[in-house]
Structure 1
Amino acid sequence: MKLHYAPGTISIAAAIALEEAGLDYTAHKLDFSQGDQNSTAYLAINPKGRVPALDVDGQILTETGAILDFVAAHDPRLMPADLVHAAHARSVMYYLASTMHVNHAHKMRGHRWADNAASHADMTAKVPETMTASATFVEAGCIRGTYVLGDHFSIADCYLFVVCNWLPGDGVDLAPFPKIRAFMDAMEARHSVQTVRANGMLP
């Protein structure tokens, strides 16, 4: 397997999951500042021009949640058999994808929604507010113990960790969020996170 990623992006959730599952993979770094994601070579891999993309024997998988589910299918420890618990884990991932990641993207990807520079500036200014609101939701409704599923580590934690890693840079004060802070500490202690940091995937 070959994981196409960019440092600090949501693609690192896939790298953490692959490390947790002990799956053999190689990592191919894209430099967004150089426009690698829009190169002809990469668009032939993922026409969306985004990361992650996981090459599995020539078949390309995209979208973070789908890749995480693929990894969990190889390691059942990463998604509980209990259907209600599994649904909670996925509900957290879908919230991150549909709402919190979008809030974050307004800071530097305003061109996806508007052409006017003033609109971009307005979206950027709104990010601390919307990301704080998302952190409030995560604190109250997503983390049920050490992890999203209490003591049970799952792929949802890979996803949540990377998104919460963005919070300080998005102007969010973590002091009012003890569950998030404890969750981040627990994640930082995991070998998978230490490995991706050592490999330069996380700043």
Structure 2
Amino acid sequence: MNERLQFYYAQDTCSLASHVALEDAEALYDLHRLSIEQGEHNSGSYLEINPKGRVPALVTPSGVLTETPAILVYISQLFPDAQLAPVGDPYQFARLQEFNSFMASTLHVAHAHRMRGHRWVDDEAAIEAMQRKVPVTVAAAYSHIEDFYLDGPFVLGQHYSVADPYLFTFAQWMEPDGVDPLQFPKVAEHREMMAQRPTVRRALEAEAA
């Protein structure tokens, strides 16, 4: 693929997972940073790209993709030589999508209750109650991951995939979410391992620049 992808992200968000996958794939892409604090994700120019007003968004030659699980699978299939997904094994590929769906629908939602309760309710007391529950709901998600994934050393066992940067992205926020990493040694070990990967370090350094 010769045409460069256009990747829209914000620092300290779930967009890091797709950013790492682009690095893993050695893709040609341009970074476009948005400031959530300054409301750039709700600007008219960005809403033309992603009407949801969220990150990430990936502009491809075929159109715009949003939602992390979709972007991760797209990258893995666009760059098959990188072997970022077990596309030839229907069961393992489904397991990959199962995991990524769980991350998006369960762990991400539980995490978002800490700082984005206004998405669900307006009552301040209700928002505070949601925030108090975050350590419990987030820990429950990690408990499931610890028990049913990470047979080692990666999410899908011996083979690295786009599921791994997705887990790493959220595992960075365990402590702010009130979760003790010592409760989940496999997740903590995975986080430490991922932090040393050159592609992860390059993505983190680019987002911090």
The match for 1:3 is 7
Q: Distance in 1 between matches of 2:90 and 2:12?
A: 31
Contact 1:6 1:201 in 2 (8 A): no
Q: Report the equivalent of 2:107.
A: 100
Structure 2 residue aligned with 1:78 = 84
Tell me the number of residue pairs that the alignment of Structure 1 and Structure 2 aligns: 202
Q: Measure the CA separation in 2 of the matches of 1:98 and 1:140.
A: 18
CA–CA distance in 2 between the matches of 1:70 and 1:143?
A: 23
CA distances 1:96-132 after superposition (whole Å, capped 9, x unpaired)? 0110000001011111110111111111111111111
| Residues 104, 131 of structure 1: 8 Å contact kept | yes
Contact kept, 8 Å, 1:12 with 1:201, in 2: the verdict is no
1:34 pairs with one of 25, 38, 54: 38
User: 1:114 touches 1:120 (CA, 8 Å); kept in 2?
Assistant: yes
Contact 2:171 2:188 in 1 (8 A): no
Deviations 1:51-83 (A, max 9, x none): 000111372111111111110012330111222
> 2:138: which partner in 1?
131
1:1-203 maps to which residues of 2 (within 5 A)?
1-57=5-61, 59-76=63-80, 77-80=83-86, 81-201=88-208
C-alpha RMSD of the superposition: 1.3
TM-score, normalised to structure 2, is 0.93
Give distance in 1, aligned partners of 2:104 and 2:208.
20
How far apart in 1 are the matches of 2:31 and 2:207?
A: 11
Cα pair 2:107 2:138 within 8 Å, conserved: yes
Return the letter of the residue paired with 1:140.
D
CA apart distance, 1:4: 0.5
**Aligned residue type for 2:103:** L
* 1:47 counterpart SS class: coil
Q: Which runs of 5+ in 1 are unaligned?
A: none
- Return the alpha-carbon distance in structure 1 between the equivalents of residues 151 and 198 of structure 2: 22
Counterpart of 1:169 in 2: which secondary structure? coil
